[in-house]
Structure 1
């Protein structure tokens, strides 16, 4: 039985609709990410607003009160730690390029060992190796003697410049809406007011979502939405606990190792903890580089300390938090983290 014209039109329309939705998500992925953060924050605010309603406080006022109280708490803590954080942040920006240069010198000095073999093997895969004593041909447009004074290979860009470019590019990919002060303020205000609106009238948005379901499925949809809200609320709480614990513990470890700008590096660990898998790697790179300011041995100690902290977090802290908060088996948490690390 062949396809009728109606079937062809319906299938074509469905394919076009799917492609348009995928294109919309690709173009506006920043907006969807901000909306997700607003919904996640609103779920936590909604729970507190429900408790304040018992004291006959309007829900909208309660939601706004919780949000702005939280912002005030952050501002107060920021004002308290701002002098130390500002001083160590300036020290980190000043000394990090020097630390990365020392890493580069350390690598150059040991290119004759195993690391040199690895680097040579990596270079050999990029292009053919010239025989010893062979003269490289000049390009046609190159004047004779233009580069005859150079006795070594062309110098590659500094290591800290490469790292800076890659980290900045990665940060733009992860958080593309945070590229300037105006966009930071605009993004924060968008998330704040979105969370207030969601938490003030959750039933309004719930009814809107339920209207997309068939009538016979709406009762099941209410149950699923309630369960999703509870799970996300508990996940957010466990994530915040993990961020605070890693921030405090890493700061203490860096202070014991006498690493410069330990407080700023510890705060960086706590913030990057929200980014799964790649966040701990990004937060460890500046700390290891700062360790090179004193000696390569201290940098090795810092790397070992960070590895130990991540091992304890991934195999003890997070599985136990997920078990107590989300009733997720610890072994399943470890397996899931390993799968994300491989992917």
Structure 2
């Protein structure tokens, strides 16, 4: 009689089968627990990602300071960058705080009034009355916006929570940027030894991609804010400075941000006259043309270019899962996913010689 038909062999085979079943069940349970942890800790993970983004920006700026000023110490260059950033923000806030506070209070009063004026103007046209009847009232819109504000945060909610998020991003970002190698080494130790060199390459490419994207986006936000403020001021629209700052900040969100920034400007202009609202609409259209066909292509040549359709799709996906914070961080998270897919799947698994986004842009520039 062969060994495979003996009771001992059958018992060994049964134990091996049970071991495989338990192992598969354990892996499935661990996977489900990981998904649940990611779901419930999504806000905290987004906040950590925002901290990493700020650290990458500080790293990129300190690298520029090291090269231009020939500073040998990374700590000294980072200290100079932090001092300059906080100094500029503090000086700008001290100089513009009274004007911005007054304009913000005025904006809170003007927007609801402008909404009522727009509704009253549109009700003059019979074809639009049925559409207006289905639209929410001004009070309902205000309640919906107020309900969205807590969900727009990363971890804490409310006004004080937003300040807490900013403080965490600032201080954690500085700590990450001060000793980045400490945290990189900690992540690499989680990878098997024979894969650690490749893990360092992937992390370095992610850092380079995010730094290039952040520098380009910062320049684009500055250009958008200046053009909006100057254009609205020339048109005689009230609150031009505040609306320009809002437009510059919302330009961080590609495609959706400029649309969101144009709404309050149009409402305020419409409160003066429909003609001025038309001029403001033309102004924002012109700014988007300049941004889309001149500024952003020039910036993308030196940074990275993400396909527009992919960006919008990821904004919808992350916005559905994570809310407004997911929409705001969708583009840099997409850049990270592109690097991971290209390097870990396309290159390592499929064997194709495809360059990551930042390297593709560098080759196109050359």
Q: Same fold (TM over 0.5)?
A: yes
Unaligned runs of 5+ in 2: 1-12, 318-366
Matched, 1:10 2:23: yes
Could you tell me the TM-score, scaled by structure 2's length? 0.73
**What residue number does 2:236 align with?**
258
1:26 correspondence with 2:39: yes
Q: Name the residue aligned to 2:353.
A: none
CA contact (8 A) 2:150 2:158 kept: no
In structure 1, how many angstroms separate the alpha carbons of the residues matched to 2:160 and 2:312?
A: 38
Runs of 4+ in 1 over 6 A off after TM superposition: none
Change (3 A) 1:266 1:48: closer
1:293 aligns with 2:271: yes
- Paired residue for 2:115, among 90, 97, 100? 100
Name stretches of at least 5 consecutive residues in structure 1 with no aligned partner. 124-155
The reply on whether 1:228 has 2:203 as its aligned counterpart is: no
Partner residue in 1 for 2:137: 158
Q: Structure 1 90/29 Cα, relative in aligned 2: closer, same or farther at 3 Å? A: same
Give how far 1:169 is off.
3.2
Contact residue 272 and residue 279 of structure 1 kept, 8 A: yes
The CA deviation string for residues 208-248 of structure 1, in whole angstroms up to 9 with x for no partner, is 11112222221122222212111111100111111111101
Q: Quick check: 2:57–2:211 contact (8 Å CA) kept in 1? A: yes
Change over 3 Å in CA distance of 1:316–1:206 after alignment to 2: same
Within 5 A, what are the aligned runs for 1:125-274?
Answer: 158-159=137-138, 161-177=139-155, 179-274=157-252
- Aligned pairs for 1:110-125 within 5 A: 110=125, 112-113=126-127, 115-116=128-129, 118=131
Return the match for 2:104 from 89, 93, 103.
Answer: 89
Contact 2:156/2:164 (8 A) holds in 1? no
Query: Residues 13-34 of structure 1, C-alpha deviation per residue, up to 9 Å, x if partnerless?
Result: 2222222222222222221122
Q: Say if 1:288 and 1:303, in contact at 8 Å, map to a contact too.
A: yes
CA contact under 8 A between 1:49 and 1:199: conserved in structure 2? no
Pick from 92, 113, 128: which aligns with 1:77? Answer: 92
Residue 278 and residue 314 in structure 1: after superposition, are their counterparts in 2 closer, same or farther (change >3 A)? Answer: same
Q: Deviations over 1:25-57 (max 9, x none)?
A: 222222112211211111232345566597565
